[in-house]
Amino acid sequence: MTTENGVSLAARGLTRVYRRGIEEIQALDGVTLQIRRGEFVAFMGPSGSGKTTLVNLLGCLDNPSSGELDLAGRSIFGNGKILGERELTRIRREVFGYIFQNFYLIPTLTVRENVALPLAFYHKPGVEGEVERLLGMLGMEHRMDHLPGQISGGEMQRVAIARALVNRPEILLADEPTGNLDTKRSGEIGEVLQDLNRNAGITIVMVTHNPGLAKLGGRLIEMRDGQAYEN
C-alpha cells in the first residue's frame, strides 16, 4: 500500500496539543516527514520530546490537533477531519501491526493463542497457517503451548512481534520494543526487526532510547521539543 513514488506515510505539519487542566502541552509541533515503503525508521529523543506522540499519530492511534496525514496517498487526517474509533480501527487492522515495551500478552492464553488473537477480530484473507509460520520464523515453535508466564522477556517480545505480524501488516510500529529487555535480548529483538525489514520488506517505524537499536534502522530521526530533525 504505497503511492506511485513508493511513499507509505506522509505527514505535513502534524501538531498535537494536550490539555491538562488549564495547561496546554504542545507534544508535537508541526512535524513534516515522509516514510517510504520498506524503510526502517527509528525515532530517538529524550522523554517528552514527542516521539511516541508522533508514532501514535502515524499509526492512527490518535487524531492530530492540526496537520495532515496521508496513508498510501489517501488522506487520513487533514482539514480538521477527525476520525471516529471505528474508522481508525478499520485503518489500523488493515495496515498496521503494533509492538509495545510491555508486550501486553494475555496471561491465560498460550503463546499460540496470543499470536492468533487478532484473527478472532479480523482475519485478512490468505493468513491461514501464519501463526505457526511466524512462531517458527521467530524461533518460538517449541514454546507454542506455553503460557506467557512460562517464557522469558525476550521470548515474550518475540510472541508480541508474531502477534503484530499475523495479519500481514504493511507497517510495523514499535514503541520502545526493547525497553524491558537486557542488552542481549535487546540485540536479539533488534536482529529480528532488521530481518523482518530486509527479508520480508515490512516497513518499520520504531521509537527507542537504545542507540544500538536505532542504528539498525536505515534512517534515524531525532525528536526535540515536538519537532523532528533528520541528518
Partner 1 sequence: MISRFQIAYKNLLRKKARTLLTLVGIMLSAWVLVSLLGFNRGYESALNRDIDNMGYQLMVMAKGCPYEAATMMLQGGTGLRYIEQSMVDSIVNRPEVDKVTPILMQAFFDPDKGDGGGIAGYFGVEAATFPAMKPFFRFRQGGWFHDEQALEAVMGFEAAELEQREVGDPILVPEKNVQLKVVGILERTGTQDDGTIFVPLKTLQKISAIDKITTIGIKVKKDADTTKLETSLYQLPDVQVVSFTQVKQTIMKLVATARVMVLSIAIIALLIAMVGVVNTILMSVLERLQEIGILKTMGAMPSDIFFLVWTETLILCSCGGVAGIGLAFVFARLSDILVRRVLPYAPGGELVAIDLKLALLTLAVIVVVGLLSGIYPAWKAGRVRPLESIRGE
Rounded to the nearest 10°, the torsion over CA 97, 212, 30, 202 is: -30
Specify the residue for cell string 517480545. 157
Q: How far is the CB of 127 from partner 1 (least distance, A)?
A: 11
Taking the complex as a whole, how short is the minimal distance between the CB of residue 24 and partner 1, in angstroms? 17
Minimum distance of partner 1 from residue 62's CB (angstroms): 5
Q: Which is nearer to partner 1, 80 or 149 (CB)?
A: 149
Of 169, 27, 146, residue with least CA distance to 99: 169
Of the pair 116, 216, the CB lying nearest partner 1 is at: 116
Handedness of CA 205, 211, 217, 223 (dihedral sign): positive
Contacts of 192 (CB under 8 A, 6+ apart): 138, 158, 161
Residue number with CB closer to partner 1 (107 or 126):
107
With respect to partner 1, which residue has the nearer C-beta, 92 or 209? 92
For residue 104, the minimal CB distance to partner 1 (Å) is 4
CA 80 to chain centre: 25
What are 20's three cell numbers? 491538562
| 3-state SS record for 62-94 | CCCCEEEEEECCEEEECCCCCCCHHHHHHHHHH
- Give residues in contact with partner 1 (CB under 8 A): 56, 61-62, 85-86, 89, 92-93, 96, 98, 100, 102, 104, 106-109, 113, 116-122, 131, 163, 167
Q: How far is the CB of 4 from partner 1 (least distance, A)?
A: 28
CB of 83 to partner 1, least distance (A): 12
Cross-strand bridge partners of residue 25: 18
Nearer to partner 1, 11 or 116 (CB): 116
